A = this chain, B = another copy of it.
Amino acid sequence: MRMGEGVEWALHSCLLLAWVGDEPVPAAKLAEFHDLPSAYLNKQLQALARAGIADSIPGRRGGFMLARAPEHITLMDVVAAIEGPDEAFRCTEIRQRGQGSVLPERLFRQPCGIAVAMAQAELAWRRALKAQTLADLMTTVAAQNPAAVERARRWHDLIRR
């Protein structure tokens, strides 16, 4: 199982947007900060905008900015925005195919036990992601690596027009 790179990019970008505050930052600048392909990062940011996590400001001094306070953005929100809302494990009901297809349909009203078990595990994952907000991440990073935060703010002042 593999999660797309976009999630990592989006999370770091959100963190950066959180540091610099309330002004929009262009996708190109965000990309430059982490040395990423700007056009592709733009795509991920669009996904964040569609999900209501970020606002996209068009025009000359446009860019992206967080749509709400970091306390109200969970990691789950970001992951779901980039990777899509559906579950990793998808039950295709193979129990009903082949030999299973001769059994009466009544028996399959209840969901497949395997699907239930997998969904349960995935729920634990989702819960853990929902429990952590962007603000929590900010606290951790600020305590552990304040120099990086300082650097981000300096950089923003520099590119500020």
* B-binding residues in A (CB < 8 A): 1-5, 7-9, 11-12, 15, 32-36, 75, 79, 83-84, 88-92, 94-95, 97-103, 107, 110, 113-114, 116-118, 120-125, 127-129, 132, 136-137, 140-141, 144-145, 147-148, 151-152, 155
For A4, what are the chain B residues with a Cβ–Cβ distance below 8 Å?
Answer: 1
Is the beta-carbon distance between B155 and A99 smaller than 8 angstroms?
yes
How many angstroms from the CA of A114 to the CA of B148 in the assembled complex?
14
How many angstroms from the CA of A121 to the CA of B2 in the assembled complex?
15
Secondary structure dominating the interface of A: helix
Is the beta-carbon distance between B147 and A75 smaller than 8 angstroms?
no
Is the beta-carbon distance between B129 and A121 smaller than 8 angstroms?
yes
Is the beta-carbon distance between B145 and A98 smaller than 8 angstroms?
no
Is the beta-carbon distance between B148 and A94 smaller than 8 angstroms?
no
How many angstroms from the CA of A112 to the CA of B118 in the assembled complex?
29
Residue of B nearest to A132 (CB): B117
Is the beta-carbon distance between A2 and B148 smaller than 8 angstroms?
no
How many angstroms from the CA of A151 to the CA of B34 in the assembled complex?
57
- Please name the 7 residue pairs, one residue from A and one from B, whose CB atoms are nearest each other, closest first: A35-B98, A125-B125, A121-B128, A124-B128, A35-B97, A3-B88, A113-B140
How many angstroms from the CA of A100 to the CA of B33 in the assembled complex?
8
